Amino acid sequence: MTRIDGRAADQLRPIEIIPNFNQFAEGSCLIRCGNTQVLCTASVEEKTPPHVPDGEGWVTAEYSMLPRANRERSRRDVSKLKLSPRSAEIQRLIGRALRCAVDLKKLGPRSITVDCDVLQGDGGTRTASVTGGFVALSFALYKLMEQGILKEMPLKTCVAAISAGIVNDELLLDLCYEEDSAAQVDLNCVMTGEGELVELQGTGEGRSFTIKEQQALVELCAKGIQEVQAIQKAALGG
């Protein structure tokens, strides 16, 4: 099939990561994946939640979409007096992914909150948030190292994410909104720099799918994530 934007089946949308987009946050970036744009900021606090063991740190995330990030205006969560179930599920995913990259003992008794605010959504907002969130988190940790607050870098690995899906029985990488809306199967994948899986979210939207198809989708994501991680590395000056 011919994709809407003319990409090959295994081709990513153009990805750009603009570092230090917010002058006040300890770490930040703007990530653009095609027409999806997410502002990621990392904020450091010298305290931890009650459930965190003594001497350890914590990394968490919050996710939100601006009211006109999509084709029609949506209500702000604050106006509904509660977080939408979708936003709550996505921010838990981002938090889990980012914690996987950090040695919480080396982080010490402090918290880092990564805010992922979708300025424009055209598919893949959660995967863009994980990818950009890691860059913002890394910048915050570099700053703590420069300030002498941390003696050892807590990062254990890098994490990045991408989506893939089956549309009209064809496997496609990095779905845009129109493709995602028509997908028979949708899969989000988070991986480490070593190519190990952190999280898989696979759903049969229009039909069930086989283990062989799942494995093919994961392999497609692995190819894309390798390319994404090279972009992350360049944004971080590596």
Which mean pLDDT values do the consecutive 10-residue runs of the chain (238 residues) have?
A: 90 98 97 97 97 96 85 70 82 97 98 97 96 98 97 97 97 96 96 97 95 98 98 93
Q: Strand 15-19 relative to strand 36-45: parallel, antiparallel, unpaired?
A: unpaired
**C-alpha span between 131 and 25 (Å, rounded):** 17
What pLDDT does residue 146 have? 97
| pLDDT attached to residue 2 | 83
**Closest among 72, 176, 169, 59 to 116, alpha carbons compared:** 59
Q: Where are the beta strands (DSSP E) in the chain?
A: 15-19, 27-33, 36-45, 58-65, 111-120, 159-167, 170-173, 185-192, 197-204
Q: Note the pTM of the prediction, 2 decimals.
A: 0.94
Report the pLDDT value the prediction gives residue 78, as an integer from 0 to 100. 59
Residue by residue, DSSP assigns 196-218 as -EEEEEEEESSS---HHHHHHHH
Burial of 237 (0-12, 13-18, 19+ CB in 10 A): exposed
Per-residue pLDDT at 82: 65
